[in-house]
Amino acid sequence: MDEDPIPGRFLVTGSVELLRSAVSPDSLAGRVETIELLPFSQAEAGVAVAPRFLERAFAGDIPNLAVIGPTTNLVERVVSGGFPEVLARSDPARRRRWLLAYAGALAERDISDVAAVGKLDRMTPLIDHAAVSAGRLLNLSGMGSHLGVDGKTVDRWLTLLERMYLLRRVGAWHRNALKRLVRTSKLQFLDSGLLAALHGTDVSTVARDRRVFGPLLECFVYSEVVKAVSLGNEPTAVGHFRDKDGLEVDLVLERSPGEVVGIEVKAGATARPDDFRALGRIRDALGDQFVCGILLHDGDRIEQAGPRLFAMPVKVLWENAWA
């Protein structure tokens, strides 16, 4: 590369962040560009036109009322996730076996390529415990007590799993206009299919007990949003909101110059006024900087629930569903 700097001649791929692993001691500054390829989005899996959800949300371009139909096969979409190898398999049992084998290979073999881990046998329990904690506030000391290590060790291990694109920590969003905020990050997986496999949840499980669907749907929406952010031209920060009154918003998106869109996720098909309390609190505190708050659910229409507050079917994330 030093002798012939023509770009685009080498493509280095892998399941680990190359420049943050022990594999590449050279920083390669100025000689390499990183392109992050997450699992397929729903638009990519369906070979559909890239959706404009984020652009329209930040523009406040949302109708007051529009019947756009229900989200087809939502539970199946969520428990399948976006790994191409999973989507190529039609049998749910084979999909789950592949996902569990993938997680096992990361924990038992690949992680040792990223860094020296003294207690490699704790990686599988760590991933299992992270799956239980997905969507919740991160408690490093609590996780450590289950694994027999301290919180600093868990923090270091989670960083390794982040470098392997297994999960991410979603930082707490905050503004001075809002008081009594919880500043703790949440833990979230990057693929809802993998999270469902680790939970032992499939379509039939959700049919028997809809309550297990909520955390998986939140993971699914988070994954779709971060994929949309990675494809966009505008830098967009993704966080979560929670205050000490227990009000929370699953995702808070912020763009310069301080424009904010809030997204709340609900597994049901209806929206109640109480479902918008947290979004309304952010709106009232930010004023004009709050573009809109969106409740994504399993319904069939877009409805305005208040000033700059809307309920929308989940499928707006990947379908250009309204004119």
- Residue 2 pLDDT level (bands cut at 50, 70, 90): confident
Give the Å distances, CA to CA, from 309 to 22, 248, 271: 47, 15, 11
Higher pLDDT, 313 or 120: 313
Residue 214 three-state SS: helix
Residue 37 confidence (pLDDT): 87
Q: Quick check: is 84 in a domain?
A: yes
User: Which of 131, 153, 127 has its CA nearest to residue 140?
Assistant: 153
Q: Quick check: is 124 in a domain?
A: yes
Q: Quick check: is 270 in a domain?
A: yes
Q: Quick check: is 29 in a domain?
A: no
Residues 309 and 62 sit within 8 Å (Cβ to Cβ): no
Residues 315 and 291: their CA atoms lie apart, in Å, by 21
Residue 288 confidence (pLDDT): 96
Residue 106 confidence (pLDDT): 86
Tell how many helices (H) and how many strands (E) occur in the chain. Answer: 13, 9
Residues linked to residue 304 through DSSP beta bridges, in sequence order: 310
Residues 313 and 299: their CA atoms lie apart, in Å, by 5
Q: Quick check: is 310 in a domain?
A: yes
Range with the lowest mean pLDDT among 55-69, 98-112, 235-249?
Answer: 98-112
Residue 129 confidence (pLDDT): 95
Higher pLDDT, 33 or 270: 270
Higher pLDDT, 26 or 101: 101
pLDDT at residue 21 tops 60: no
Residue 250 confidence (pLDDT): 98
pTM of the model: 0.93
Residues 287 and 273: their CA atoms lie apart, in Å, by 20
Residue 138 confidence (pLDDT): 96
Q: Quick check: is 294 in a domain?
A: yes
Q: Quick check: is 31 in a domain?
A: no
Cβ partners under 8 Å of residue 215, min gap 6: 134, 135, 195, 199
Segment 293-298 mean pLDDT: 97
Out of 25-34, 49-58, 220-229, the most confident range is 220-229
Higher pLDDT, 137 or 32: 137
- Residue 45 pLDDT level (bands cut at 50, 70, 90): very high
Phi and psi based region of residue 55 (left: phi greater than 0; alpha: psi -120 to 50; beta: remaining): alpha
Q: Quick check: is 14 in a domain?
A: no
Amino acid 317 reads L
Please count the structural domains in the chain: 1
pLDDT at residue 114 tops 90: no
- Residue 118 pLDDT level (bands cut at 50, 70, 90): low
Per residue in 170-227, pLDDT (tens digit) is 999 999 889 999 999 999 999 999 999 999 999 999 999 999 999 999 999 999 999 9
Residue 18 confidence (pLDDT): 63
Per residue in 149-166, pLDDT (tens digit) is 999 999 999 998 998 899
pLDDT at residue 301 tops 70: yes
User: Which domain does 277 fall in, by range?
Assistant: 42-317
Segment 298-307 mean pLDDT: 96
Per residue in 213-267, pLDDT (tens digit) is 999 999 999 999 999 999 888 999 999 999 999 999 999 999 999 999 999 999 9
Residues 236 and 228 sit within 8 Å (Cβ to Cβ): no
